[in-house]
Amino acid sequence: MHNVLKGVVLKNAGLSDRDLEFVYTSPATALASLRAGRVDAAFLFEPYDTIARLSLPVTELHEVGKSWPFPCMVLIVPGKLIAEKPEVVRKTLASVKQSVEFMKAKPQEASRLLAPAFMHEDGLDAGAVSADEVMRKSLATQVFDWRLSPADLKRMEELSAIMKDLGLLKRDVPLSSVVDLRWQRQLEQTSR
């Protein structure tokens, strides 16, 4: 999120990190800080932005995913695990696929199951709106897919360049050195 905030949002607004004071914290603490007036703004992801909009007098200024969609959650495993336990990797990816398909097919039930994972944190209060409703609204704003599309891969290359520009990477990192799509292809073949 930090890379996208600095490398995309601020850059597109003609700002740099010198124009703002950053406080890095958990989403729950960011919400509590907004509620208490200790910060002027927060850069949040779902469901935390939905919680903020439902429980605080805030206005969403910009949603990055609408103007600059990017793959937000990507499963990462060490090469050693792939080499030593490929069946564990395959089963894990099959589980991710099944979970995403479940969220798409049964969003009400998925919301009910996901709500406790996000809504139990101290300071998360959506007011009169139930945790299930927060999750339903959050899930409805997102696009889920268990596959990485060509557009996702292109965006990942852009993120790598942003990270290099920000000094987080010392050299170019070819996408093929960190993304292994053979697992995705295997799951796609078994789905047919």
Q: Is the pLDDT of residue 122 over 50?
A: no
Within 8 A by CB and 6+ apart from 83, the residues are none
Q: How many domains does the structure of the chain reveal?
A: 1
Interval 52-63 mean pLDDT: 85
124-177 pLDDT, tens digit per residue, is 555 566 788 888 888 888 888 888 899 999 998 998 998 898 888 999 888 888
Q: What is the pLDDT averaged over residues 62-85? A: 82
Residue bearing the bigger pLDDT, 84 or 48? 84
pLDDT at position 123 is 42
Contact 153, 179 (CB under 8 A): yes
DSSP codes, the chain: -HHHIIIIIIHHTT--GGGS------HHHHHHHHHHTS-S-----TTHHHHHHHHSS------HHHHS----------HHHHHH-HHHHHHHHHHHHHHHHHHHH-HHHHHHHHHHHHHTSTT---TTS-HHHHHHHHHHT----SSPPHHHHHHHHHHHHHHHHTTS-SS---GGGT--THHHHHHHHHH-
Range name among 20-24, 45-49, 63-67, 125-129 with the lowest pLDDT average:
125-129
What are the pLDDT digits (tens) for 29-47?
888 899 899 999 998 888 8
Q: Is the pLDDT of residue 87 over 80?
A: yes
**Domain that includes residue 42, residue range:** 2-191
Band (pLDDT 50/70/90 cuts) for residue 120 is low
pLDDT of residue 109: 92
